[in-house]
Amino acid sequence: MKIISTPIELKEYFKNSNKTLGFVPTMGALHEGHITLIKEARKANEIVVVSIFVNPTQFLKGEDLDKYPRKDDADKKICELSGVDVLFLPEAASIYSDDEVSILAPKVRGFVLEGFSRPGHFNGVLTVVMKLLNIVNPTRAYFGKKDAQQLNLISLMVKQFFMSVEVIGVDTVRENDGLALSSRNIYLTVKERQEALKISASLQCAAKMLTQKIVNSQVIIQKMREHLAPLEIFYVEILNRDFEIIKEVELANSIILVEVKVGKTRLIDNIWL
């Protein structure tokens, strides 16, 4: 596995390549969710590139940028064992300069849900993803459906900027007890981790209601809120795949999304129906 740390070096490395390239951008502290993205990239492409970059511009003041988990050695091992060809590990100084052109998230879709609780977060996400896609120039880029709003906004950016990369959404990987894997789960105490199971339980409850032909969004949301209590709820929302609020769940076109705070940790999860 080749390790590259600057954009110029990476561009140079692939200058004459005409192989298909699958790209998995991450912030490190890799877990089975990231590994699944890498495996998907491995299946469909001749070359796989993973980036690890804790992007400062997507963290708001007071968020966990400084204490975001960093596990460089373990991450390198995981990438090597997962068959990654190139690991891109840039420093912030090689990605950003003082006077920046940046991408703004759309006014509506970028500032609801997680974008409402973290205003400006998606400006940072879209800007860094644009930069990384331009550096790596992949055939396909892989993102988790767990970050549904992020995936939706990146797909929209790629479409609206007429970019040629294919964006692939990958299903959420969970622990055996239902908790969605996240690098932030390590912040949870044993008790909080137990409390966090309410999130997947609330989503399972929604799925069960659908099997009972209950499709009214408000009825489902109310029941989910009861399941989540007493956690601090940022939102429980039912949207179609264009991220518009819908009164009734439309099968094969809906996403149910949750964001809660468990202790001091903000967790998101969702199901795609």
Residues at the contact surface with ligand AMP, assessed by CB under 6 A:
26-27, 33-34, 36-37, 143-144, 146-147, 170, 172-173, 180-183
Nearer to ligand AMP, 183 or 217 (CB): 183
Q: Least distance in Å: CB of 41 to ligand AMP? A: 11
Phi/psi at 232 (nearest 5 deg)? Answer: -75, 120
Q: Are 148 and 272 in contact (CB under 8 A)?
A: yes
> Min. distance of Cβ 33 from ligand AMP in angstroms?
3
Output the smallest distance, CB 251 to ligand AMP, in A.
22
- Smallest gap from residue 265 Cβ to ligand AMP (A): 13
Say how far apart CA 229 and CA 219 lie, in whole Å.
Answer: 16
Alpha-carbon span 181 to 190, nearest angstrom: 15
Q: For residue 199, what is the enclosing H or E element?
A: helix 190-211
219-249 in b/e burial notation, b at 16+ Cβ within 10 A?
A: ebbebbeebbeebeebebbbbeeebeebeeb
Q: Closest CB to ligand AMP among 224 and 267?
A: 267
Concerning whether 121 is annotated as a catalytic residue, the answer is: no
Nearest residue (CB) to ligand AMP, 147 versus 237? 147
By beta-carbon proximity to ligand AMP, the closer residue of 199 and 221 is 199
Helix (H, G, I), strand (E, B) or coil at 238: strand
CB proximity list for 196: less than 8 A, separation 6 or greater:
179, 185, 188, 262, 267
Which tokens hold the place of 120? 């400006």
Residues annotated catalytic, as ranges: 34
